[in-house]
Amino acid sequence: MSEPSLAIRKFSDLANPTRFLALVATVWPWLAGLTLCLFAVGLYLSFTTVGDYQQGETVRIMYVHVPAAWLSMMCYTVMALSALGTLVWRHPLADVSAKAAAPIGACFTLVALITGSLWGKPMWGTWWVWDARLTSVFVLFLMYLGLIALNRAMDEPTRAAKVSAVLILVGFVNIPIIKFSVEWWNTLHQPASVIRMDGPTISGEFLRPLLVMAVAFTLLFFTLHILAMRNEILRRRIAVLRRHAARSAGGAA
């Protein structure tokens, strides 16, 4: 047999859940440690920088609100990519990745919603308004929960994965709506000031802690994601073993 190229071998290595588990086992302590360090730095920075002259102390909410909001969208993007992986490449780990990401995404969205509301009360005088940005984020939250419910309602994971992949892809239209809602409709919410074509317009003083926190949140996401994927792999392994046991038990007895 000819030796497959290194890239292909790497890919198929990852395709093998057992290898993936081994990889997770070595990687996750490092990732978790790095996440903790970054959070320490980020929290330190976010409590030592001065308050904004307009928004006062509440600007500190930004350092959790904005990363959580970004992550909520990124997580869905990860799920959409995994859904493509499921439908196009039939990659077994893609199913696992999409399913494991949903609860994490739901939690980040929840954090964005809670912190946003807590910021809105002092700034806008109300916990909630039904403007395009806020509403589309809430719809994202509902979609995460719907996907979780769909996954729980189906007892066969492979089929559940395929079907939710279709739904994930259809629901992806919401992400650009969230991102650009502030520009397409006039809303109460702040327009983008960091991730924009012409570079960030936010002052460096706020940018530094924000970016550190954003990286920390991203690492947190990846740590949790690979660990949740590991759990999901174990869950499937258990299901396979159980079916195996059920099939071999009693038949001969």
Residues of span 124-153 touching another protein by CB under 8 A: 126-131, 135, 138-139, 142-143, 145-146, 148-150, 152-153
Residues of span 76-105 touching another protein by CB under 8 A: 92, 103-104
Using the minimum distance from each CB to another protein, give the nearer residue, 163 or 207: 163
Residue 229 CA to residue 205 CA, distance in Å, equals: 37
Query: Cβ 234 to ligand HEM, closest distance in Å?
Result: 33
Query: Cβ 132 to ligand HEM, closest distance in Å?
Result: 11
Q: Does 236 bind another protein (CB under 8 A)?
A: yes
Q: Does 168 bind another protein (CB under 8 A)?
A: no
Query: Cβ 138 to another protein, closest distance in Å?
Result: 6
- DSSP bridge partners of 56: 52
Query: Cβ 135 to another protein, closest distance in Å?
Result: 8
User: Comparing C-alpha atoms, which of 190, 223, 242, 227 is closest to residue 34?
Assistant: 223
C-alpha of 249 from chain center: 41
CA distances (Å), origin 195, targets 191, 199, 201, 226: 10, 7, 9, 26
DSSP 52: B
Find the DSSP H helices in the chain: 6-15, 17-48, 62-84, 92-124, 132-153, 157-171, 174-184, 204-248
* Options 49, 84, 117, 172; binder of another protein; rule CB under 8 A: 117
Query: Cβ 150 to another protein, closest distance in Å?
Result: 7
Using the minimum distance from each CB to another protein, give the nearer residue, 167 or 192: 167
- Chain residues that interact with ligand HEM, rule: CB under 6 A: 62, 65-66, 69-70, 112-113, 116-117, 119-120, 123-124, 133-134, 137, 178-179, 189-190, 192-195, 202
Q: Does 25 bind another protein (CB under 8 A)?
A: no
Tokens encoding 174 = 């919401």
Task: Centre a 10 Å sphere on the Cβ of residue 157 and count the other Cβ atoms it contains.
Answer: 18
Residue 193, phi then psi, degrees to nearest 5: -130, -10
Task: Pick one of ligand HEM, another protein, none as the site partner of residue 40 (Cβ within 5 to 8 A by kind).
Answer: none
Residue 177 CA to residue 234 CA, distance in Å, equals: 36
Query: Cβ 86 to ligand HEM, closest distance in Å?
Result: 26
Residues of span 175-234 touching another protein by CB under 8 A: 220, 224, 227-228, 230-231, 233-234
Using the minimum distance from each CB to ligand HEM, give the nearer residue, 65 or 225: 65
Residue 162 CA to residue 78 CA, distance in Å, equals: 16
Using the minimum distance from each CB to ligand HEM, give the nearer residue, 86 or 136: 136
CA distances (Å), origin 22, targets 14, 81, 230: 10, 23, 10
